[in-house]
Structure 1
Amino acid sequence: MRLLRPRPLDLGPFFETLAERDSPTVVRLSRPLDLAPESGREWTVPQLAELVRETAAALAAAKVRPGDHVAIHKRNHWDYALLAASVARLGAVPALLSSQLPPEALAVLLARLKPKLLLSDRYTLALGVGRPKQRTVCLDGPAPGATDLATLRGGRIPPVHPRRDDDPLVVIHTSGTTGVPKLVLHSTTSLVRRITGFEAHRWPVTSVRPEDTAASAVSFAHGRGVSWTLSALWGRPRTALLLADPEPELALPLLREHPPTVLEALPATYQQWQPQAGGGAFLRMRLFISTFDAVHPPTVREFLAASGRRHPVWMQGWGQSETGPLTFRFFTRRSLARREQRHPTTRDLGRPVPGWIALRVVDPATGRPVARGVTGVLQARVPGLCQGYPGEPDRWTTKLDGPWFNTGDLGSRSRTGRVRLLDREVDMMPDASCVELEDVLHERLPEVEEAVVLWAGAGRPPLPVLVTRDERLDPGRWRHAVRDLPPLAEPVLLGWEALPRTGTGKVRRHLLRDRYLAGAGAYGSGRWT
């Protein structure tokens, strides 16, 4: 009898390991996998293990060998994680690239990777994004210039290729809010043993339990898609819900049919769902999780109110692709209750995990640590730090200060060690926080679906860019909302689709600055982006 280990140990045979443990989890999808479009929307763990094995055999038939880079660039769906496992099973290195990358950014990243193979789907290939030069396999049928994956199936299933813990495991990339994103290389040690292994422990409140219905609605092309898969499925939930598309009409039917108890979603996705939060989909929720970006108090309040539980919890995580999670903060209905002359904020990110994560604040000009309460650049010392930026070794070196990694985020720490996050250093403005101003605007103007405040240059008031449902805002309500705030310019009003975003829903502020504030530039240095 094989010993059952307490945590996930390897990405390649992960689903086989789950099957050996007799995992009862049923996976339900918002739409069929692009990897297996004819196989429906419901999967058991043994079926997933077989799909990963068969896909690995097809990739071996495509001459993928240990150490090769295999780029995955397709529509957002959970099969990013399944493909990553298939590639890793062969000893090759999957590189997950978001379909939301601009063509010029995709071309740069592919040039840095030099992949042996590119995996895509008909939808993405039909867009002609960059017309990749690499040999391409189409996952869901014939496509011009690509090999149909179906023609490679049916071969002998290769054995799992052994991999040392510190060998390259997977390449992911950062969100790319300031331009071309950075490629990030993780090993089994950093991503599986440390980042995911820590999360896969049975922690109170935050761990997925066997009785849970655990749902994820993130960008599966980013590292979180892999780490969520490993940690959540290791918890053996009764049901796992995977939502490929954030649009309410596509995502919410699955959540209403199988109401989740634990949900992780992008902040931008929560905002899209917010008007329909009270529709019954979130009635059983005990734990909401948000990562990737700032989430505003009215959004958190709305979803906590939608739960039928007595004490639902919202967990906000702050971290980066290079480091994994750095801090956690829990919100309850009471902690975000409105009070006179008080604006609840989600800028307080809590504390780092004692004995696991170390944080310090340094002066951006000198690099020297500053006193508690003083604003500076946040640096982290973590056990799960990535191995570097493929193709950009000099850029990686500038992010390191001995054992400390420069996050590029601006903030401070209180006397008790709590982290207060202000802005990305490149997006900062003097004597204020863009994100805190945005919190207040969301609080006072419920009709605003997204607020973005941009520094406009010396001698000019900051520019608010506001997303409203009909691209309108009552001037009187605007004047009342900003009555006691620092002077702001008249807002630019946009629709949701007009706001430039990354694959993780983050706003590309530099594009807005170029569009509406040509020549203003940024106040921050951008040295650590």
Structure 2
Amino acid sequence: MWLHQEIKNVADIARHHARTSPQHTALIDPAGRRSFADLERSSNGIASSLRAHGIAAGAHIGFLGKNSCRYFELLFGAAKAGCSIVPLNWRLAEAELRAVIIDAQCPVVFVDREFAELLDRVRASCVQAFQIVSFDSSSAAAGELEAWVLAGDGRDPHVPIHPDDTAILIYTSGTTGQPKGVQLTHGGLGYMRLCEHLEPALKQDASDVLLTAMPLFHLVGTGLSLQALYNGATVSLLPVMEPGALLKLLARDRPTICALVPTAIQMLLDHPDASRADFSSLRLVMYAGSPISSALLKRALLEMRCSFMQFYGATESSGALTLLRPEQHDVHNEARLRACGTPLPLIDIEVRDSEGRPLPDGQTGEFWVRAPSLFGGYWQQPEATAAVLQDGWYRSGDAGYRDHDGLYYIVDRVKDMIVTGGENVYSAEVEQALCRHPAVRQCAVIGLPDEKWGERVTAVIIARDGQQPRVEDIIAHCREYIAGYKVPKEVRFVGSMPMTATGKVLKRALREELLRQSAPQARAIVA
């Protein structure tokens, strides 16, 4: 549905459904259920308390925790106070988390008790002071949050919200390894709902239950959940993707829609309890992060007996850009399954060359995107913003082509991004960590095909003369500086690498060379 009169900003989602369907279940997590009336009441309390604690409109409110109802209470509460939520990636290393909090200038961070000690260490070594308010997502009791909220009067402050105001600040790592805060605006997120309203494959209503297993610090988790709540549907939150727990939620909450990466679909079907699971409530599985193989799709269709739909998008676009719709999932057409689909309504995608000139169908270039849902720029990074936003178009950094049927295909990452298990990993960030090891003279990080993860992060290292570092030491070293999913799953030691005349590693040639080799010289697999 398109509630353009009733819902003009993110905060209005809670307000509208609290008026029209107050007792309908909005959210479910391990601690219990929240109706839309509950969500309205708790978010009002948070909004009024933010104001009472002197936190002005425009501030960035940090959230550090796994998927839970608390996140949405804080998201809507922050929006009502004219602030924006910053969902922090709990998988980051301490140094990475500190960098994000400093960059976002969060005056307060709400933290689940599971990560309270980590946040205490971050604050102790942080040049910027910020308040910490803890909560317990496993309990209906709010903990410190309950006392903190008492400072306010519990009423919605109704702070004026402009469409260009930031609602959510989501951090992604750039190719330089520096964090970039993507400013998602109320207007952009609202236009995304219109795009979805015009797309029949994305129709939802109050009878639907979305199972959110994707982390909320990614736009996929937050964005799809907001789409469901906008339409008055229920969101069932899985704290972290674990196949056994997901199967239990299927039985308990009977979701109609679920979003997963192909790796998670594989893990789910491989679980010992999958053969006894009841998938009958599901009508649609959405997946992203990488294409699905015909073998996995055939198995999933047979065992889950529902429709499948792939979507491709970017944090900077506030959501999906293309869909490979259920009717386009032909298990007998492997080539089509590699497509990322066709654009949603109101979204234009052009394939352009390095000079920004449009290319004909069949030729590979960079995806340029024009959409009413584009982000408001990178927080305090005008040069980075100007590099990707040009004349109303967003340069995605993804390389691909369009075929003669209008289907789009991604063939590479212009920015050397690796997609592993649905997580985005930038090679430069991993290379920076590797280069801090005293035995590493030169390194390059690439993604190699992997049946389980889609791509595995592979480090190629030239050791310093006289040094023979152990794979285990390299892995342990990386874990000190980067999140676990960014740590190389494979390490290879070489004597030389293909180089350009200007001294840069030819990664495409390096990738082809490694794929031709029958066995690596050294390998470490990280869970």
- TM-score bin (small chain): 0.7 to 0.9
| Distance of aligned partners of 1:135 and 1:59 in 2 relative to their CA distance in 1, 3 Å threshold | same
Structure 2: any 5+ residue segments left out of the alignment?
137-142, 419-445, 462-470, 472-476, 498-504, 510-527
**How far apart are 1:449 and its partner, in Å?**
6.1
2:394 is aligned with 1:405: yes
| Distance of aligned partners of 1:78 and 1:352 in 2 relative to their CA distance in 1, 3 Å threshold | same
**How far apart are 1:164 and its partner, in Å?**
1.5
2:123 is aligned with 1:125: no
| Distance of aligned partners of 1:213 and 1:84 in 2 relative to their CA distance in 1, 3 Å threshold | closer
| Distance of aligned partners of 1:220 and 1:44 in 2 relative to their CA distance in 1, 3 Å threshold | same
8 Å contact from structure 1 (residues 259, 281) kept in 2:
no
What's 1:523 paired with?
Answer: 507
What's 2:281 paired with?
Answer: 284
**How far apart are 1:506 and its partner, in Å?**
11
CA deviation map 1:145-165 (0-9, x unaligned): xx9323223331242211111
What's 1:315 paired with?
Answer: 309
Q: Which amino acid in structure 1 is aligned with residue 310 of structure 2?
A: Q
**How far apart are 1:289 and its partner, in Å?**
0.7
What's 1:222 paired with?
Answer: 218
Distance 1:79 1:178 in 2: 33
8 Å contact from structure 1 (residues 271, 449) kept in 2:
no
CA deviation map 1:63-87 (0-9, x unaligned): 2221222222223434323211111
2:244 is aligned with 1:253: no
What's 1:243 paired with?
Answer: 238
| Distance of aligned partners of 1:506 and 1:229 in 2 relative to their CA distance in 1, 3 Å threshold | farther
What's the TM-score, normalizing by structure 2?
A: 0.74
| Distance of aligned partners of 1:180 and 1:271 in 2 relative to their CA distance in 1, 3 Å threshold | farther
Distance 2:377 2:57 in 1: 20
**How far apart are 1:234 and its partner, in Å?**
2.9
Structure 1: any 5+ residue segments left out of the alignment?
33-40, 142-146, 443-447, 458-491, 493-497
Structure 1 residue matching 2:79: 3-state secondary structure: helix
| Distance of aligned partners of 1:368 and 1:333 in 2 relative to their CA distance in 1, 3 Å threshold | closer
Distance 1:65 1:369 in 2: 45
What's 1:212 paired with?
Answer: 208
Distance 1:317 1:273 in 2: 20
8 Å contact from structure 1 (residues 262, 286) kept in 2:
yes
Structure with more of its chain in helix, by fraction: 2
What's 1:264 paired with?
Answer: 259
What's 2:145 paired with?
Answer: 149
What's 1:380 paired with?
Answer: 369
| Distance of aligned partners of 1:352 and 1:88 in 2 relative to their CA distance in 1, 3 Å threshold | same
What's 1:452 paired with?
Answer: 456
What's 1:420 paired with?
Answer: 409
Q: Which amino acid in structure 1 is aligned with residue 135 of structure 2?
A: D
Q: How many residues align?
A: 446
8 Å contact from structure 1 (residues 248, 272) kept in 2:
yes
8 Å contact from structure 2 (residues 330, 337) kept in 1:
no
Distance 2:218 2:453 in 1: 24
Range that drifts further, 147-156 or 244-253 = 147-156
| Distance of aligned partners of 1:12 and 1:113 in 2 relative to their CA distance in 1, 3 Å threshold | same
**How far apart are 1:334 and its partner, in Å?**
6.7
Structure 2 residue matching 1:228: 3-state secondary structure: helix
**How far apart are 1:7 and its partner, in Å?**
6.3
| Distance of aligned partners of 1:27 and 1:168 in 2 relative to their CA distance in 1, 3 Å threshold | closer
Structure 1 residue matching 2:41: 3-state secondary structure: helix
What's 1:330 paired with?
Answer: 325
CA deviation map 1:280-301 (0-9, x unaligned): 2422321111134444444433
8 Å contact from structure 2 (residues 456, 488) kept in 1:
no
What's 2:268 paired with?
Answer: 273
What's 1:111 paired with?
Answer: 102
Equivalent residue for 2:342, pick from 322, 327, 351: 351
2:2 is aligned with 1:8: no
8 Å contact from structure 2 (residues 212, 225) kept in 1:
no
Distance 2:268 2:6 in 1: 33
8 Å contact from structure 2 (residues 349, 370) kept in 1:
yes
| Distance of aligned partners of 1:373 and 1:428 in 2 relative to their CA distance in 1, 3 Å threshold | farther
What's 1:485 paired with?
Answer: none
| Distance of aligned partners of 1:94 and 1:77 in 2 relative to their CA distance in 1, 3 Å threshold | same
Q: Which amino acid in structure 2 is aligned with residue 423 of structure 1?
A: D
Q: Which amino acid in structure 2 is aligned with residue 383 of structure 1?
A: P
What's the TM-score, normalizing by structure 1?
A: 0.74
Equivalent residue for 1:512, pick from 488, 497, 504: 488
2:301 is aligned with 1:304: yes
Structure 1 residue matching 2:415: 3-state secondary structure: helix
Distance 1:428 1:227 in 2: 22
**How far apart are 1:188 and its partner, in Å?**
1.3
| Distance of aligned partners of 1:112 and 1:28 in 2 relative to their CA distance in 1, 3 Å threshold | closer
* Cα root mean square deviation, aligned: 3.8
What's 2:195 paired with?
Answer: 198
| Distance of aligned partners of 1:296 and 1:134 in 2 relative to their CA distance in 1, 3 Å threshold | farther
What's 1:478 paired with?
Answer: none
8 Å contact from structure 2 (residues 352, 368) kept in 1:
yes
